[in-house]
A and B are shown apart, each in its own frame.
Chain A
Amino acid sequence: MLSIPYTIENLIASVSDTIFRVFIVQDRYQLWLTGLQNTLVIAFFALWIGLILGFLLAVLRVVHDATPRPPVWLRVLNRLAKIYISIIRGVPMVVQLMIFNFIILAASRNGVLIGILAFGFNSSAYVAEIFRAGILSVDKGQMEAGRSLGLSYAQTMRKIIMPQAIKNSIPTLGNEFITVLKETSIAGQVAIMDITRAGAVIRGLTYNPSPLIFVALIYLVMVLFLEFVVGRIERRLRRSDQR
């Protein structure tokens, strides 16, 4: 097919032929849908795990650093959190995914679940640092003002520091979400049928590289949608910046 010289006519013909062979023949769209679904499910739940676990890790680290003489249990937890973050950030995602698949969850046949956990835990380390930076970026006068009014540390954190910290973190978090979504494309390494792998399978069936372009477009659309959602949240939280 590539040997045919391209003219407008046979370009159109070859595109429609390609679409037919890539999506229609043998109900191949079903494979695409399975891949898309798995990618979305993995990314969605991984984001939530990352967000919640990352938030807890960040609070732990900040509270530890803000306590003048932290009790032993807090020191131990803080040390564990630091080690956890270092390991996760220090090991390539593909390797972590394989460790989850072949060691930690070797007994599980549920590829999607393995993907959710591997990507979720990975993201939590980055989210923890994003939130921690967000909390530290709030002017320290805010804590002093809250405390001087008689609010406790926890009350000041909840009502004054956190709302500002979260707002400050949104753009960076949006970036992290996009990274996680795209990073799920390595799920095929452990035989998870995500959208990238679906494209690869069909590439093999059709002897045609064009599924790569479709895969790229699908990721692009998903990322544009995420950008849109994050942008809306950001605008909503920026109400108080009006001057």
Chain B
Amino acid sequence: MINVKGLRKSFKKIEVLRGIDEEIRRGEKVVIVGPSGSGKSTFLRCLNLLETPSAGEIWFEGVDIANLRKGLDQHRQKMGMVFQHFNLFPHLTVEENITLAPITLGKATKPDACATAKRLLERIGLTDKADKYPGTLSGGQKQRVAIVRALAMEPIVMLFDEPTSALDPEMVGEVLDLIGDLANEGMTMVMVTHEMGFAKKVGNRVLFMDEGLIVEQGRPDAFFGSPRSPRLQDFLAKVL
């Protein structure tokens, strides 16, 4: 579904991604872990071109979106993204947050988009918050709204950029549960996280990034059970 070839990214003189080749297949749940500064967030943000790669190709649904002249927005509609800091639109109600993109992009009529929003809010148990502004929600509620806002565009892949890192500990569970449900429904997802337990439980494949490269990868049991590279062994020793 997403095929990355020779991806490089530099900020000024610093090379953050130093040549990444990776394929993400339909239905896979890929978890990316690694020390801070390893380039994992940059890699994720390159997948939907929030960061423009310095070199390389990103093939999505048969199109190299890294080297498009135009039409990128259309491809982005099919890739949902969830951010560490939620990034809900504070001037819009919860329902408007969810319906804005589908209505603006002509994907749904207003009544249809509102019906979808109601259904999505019901799913996360926040129907009563539809007309509230994001400022009134807890962190966990915000992130769950952010997730269904992305789902309202009916993406075929979801990108999660440390979705629980900005949450109070007692709210991590509700967000991970929702992401886990999505995974069980067969959603393709790529997730950068520090939640090793979640990576073990939900991931099909775990990637370890360090200094701009994918150093090691594998199925969760092998990845956590018998890491081969010394750097991954060192990393796991610190975080587990």
Contact = CB atoms under 8 A, between A and B. Distances in A.
Contacts of A243: 135-136
Interface stretch (B81-89, B115-123, B198-206): B81-89
A164 to B, nearest CB: 5
Given A240-B90, A240-B91, A242-B135, A148 B81 contact: yes
Main SS of chain A's interface residues?
A: helix
Contact of A151 (B73, B91, B133): B73
A129 B70 CA distance: 31
Contacts of A239: 133
B153 interface: yes
B150 to A, nearest CB: 7
B135 A148 contact: no
Query: Chain B binding site: helix, strand, loop or mixed by DSSP?
Result: loop
Interface in A97-144: 139, 141-142, 144
Given A141-B87, A145-B87, A151 B135 contact: no
Interface of B: 48, 50, 52, 73-74, 76-81, 83, 85, 87-93, 100-101, 104-105, 133, 135-136, 146, 149-150, 153
21 contacts: A139-B87, A141-B85, A145-B83, A146-B101, A147-B73, A148-B76, A149-B77, A149-B80, A149-B150, A149-B153, A150-B73, A150-B78, A150-B105, A150-B153, A151-B105, A152-B73, A155-B104, A159-B104, A160-B89, A239-B133, A240-B92
Given A151-B73, A151-B105, A240-B135, 16 more contacts: A141-B83, A145-B83, A145-B89, A145-B146, A146-B89, A147-B50, A147-B76, A148-B50, A148-B76, A150-B101, A151-B101, A159-B100, A160-B91, A240-B90, A240-B92, A243-B135
